[in-house]
Amino acid sequence: MSDLSSLTAAQLVAGYATGDFSPVEVTRAVVEQAEKVQPHVNAFVRVYGDEALTQARESEEHWRRGEPRGPLEGVPVTVKDILLERGRPTLRGSWSSSAEGPWEEDAPSVARMRGAGAVFVGRTTTPEFGWKGVTDSPRHGITRNPYDISRTAGGSSGGGSAAVALGAGPLTLGTDAGGSVRIPAAFCGIFALKPTYGRVPIYPASAFGTLAHVGPMTRDALDAALLMDVISQPDARDWSQLAPPHAGFRDTVKDGVRGMRVAYSPDFGGRVEVDPAVAAGVRRSVGKLEEMGAVVEEADPGFEDPIEAFHSLWFAGAARVTQYFTDEQREAMDPGLREISEDGASRSALDYLAGVDVRMALGKRMGVFHESYDLLVTPTTPGTAFGAGLEVPEGSGYRRWTEWTPFTYPFNMTQQPAASVPCGVDGAGLPMGVQLVAARHRDDLVLRASHALYEAGAAEIPAPALRGATP
């Protein structure tokens, strides 16, 4: 295998075990790839090449002694610059964040990866405090799409999606409070899972409250199952965490979809206008699930767009995270974040609680819906990637990112597990995504169906030409 940076985490661990290649060889290839593509897409806040190679040498010694520390021993990983990482600044895309240390704590998911032997390559870009569905910030600039650098990578975990798509590490950690791992996964042609809320512990708690999930962004669903087994372990710092899963996700991910009851909602009952290419790609994926033995029915959950309730919750979170900013800090903010922060600050506690009421009613509706269906399948996004540096598609008439993401944020309100799987490319060669949603606590079903699509070849798309680019 000549291109070590193109391998999945599962392939890397298997190769380490047989001695076909080493963590140092792989880490060197991944760091070189990260540095090569960075000038084109701006996926990283910083690449830690020398530190990563030092960690890789430690992993190589563990493998030499036959004592790997865990299932990620020697696997290069990246982390969104929202999550704490010991010894490295967490800047959150904001000039309000100081790089001053000492940065002594890992977030729970980062700590679990470290304990499992991962090699940390770099910090990936985010919009300021992860506030929107694209990735650009006043502090770190615009992150671009690996398939067309004139377009956005999506967000808010856009840096991680670009990194994985371009071979700069097979695994990355992202956060998702309204679609932030699924949107960029769809735009960049990779896999992402937003787990059930609480399945992956979070610390410190997000200003966006229980909308915010931590999840894996990977090359395929098998790697996501591998990473979920690591990061789903408990951490006492998160009071809202769930108990550890009863079975490992790798133990069930290959169980297939035969007999699985699938509701296919192509456009939320005609409420969402979906690009014809995206609609066709989603239909192909649904057809493949049916061929593999799933029982498919076109059915819609039938809820009205909860956008205003989401805005009450979301804008309040933005107001909270910026509550103590000085006038100078507010002037340096992303203008869109400043707008929604001011909106959130103007809303009352009753407005917020009215949003909570809508959220609870939506959760009940989806709970009842999943008594009849194991999975709900929709597009991840109605269209493909649009112009880089924009919050909304050109000429759409939209004002906020939530208006073009109607398939993603409702399932943050309900805390359900949801994944995005590639389902082809459009006429311009841009990736498209299909979203798979299950009832709370049934992350295993989402991973099983996603893996089945990969095994059937339904998730295969061309690699971005930028993988072979030179600065």
Please tell me which residue in 22, 36, 59, 80 is annotated as part of the active site: 80
Give the residue from 62, 57, 128, 65 showing the smallest Cα distance to 92. Answer: 128
Tell me the pairing of strands 171-176 and 213-218.
Answer: antiparallel
150 is a catalytic site residue: no
Cα 315-316-319 angle, rounded to 5 deg: 90
312 is a catalytic site residue: no
Burial state string for 63-99 with b = 16 or more CB within 10 A and e = fewer than 16: beeeebbbbbbbbbbbbbbbbbbeebbbbbbbbbbee
Please tell me which residue in 5, 22, 109, 156 is annotated as part of the active site: 156
Contact (Cβ atoms closer than 8 angstroms) between residue 169 and residue 218: no
Distance CA 139, CA 96 (A): 9
80 is a catalytic site residue: yes
Distance CA 13, CA 70 (A): 10
Q: Which tokens in the block code for residue 446?
A: 């989402």
Backbone angles phi, psi at 329, to 5 degrees: -65, -40
Half-sphere exposure of 44 (CA within 13 A, CB side): 25
Which residues have a Cβ under 8 Å from the Cβ of 427 and sit 6 or more positions away? 277
Please tell me which residue in 5, 180, 312, 450 is annotated as part of the active site: 180
| Catalytic residue numbers, as ranges | 80, 156, 180
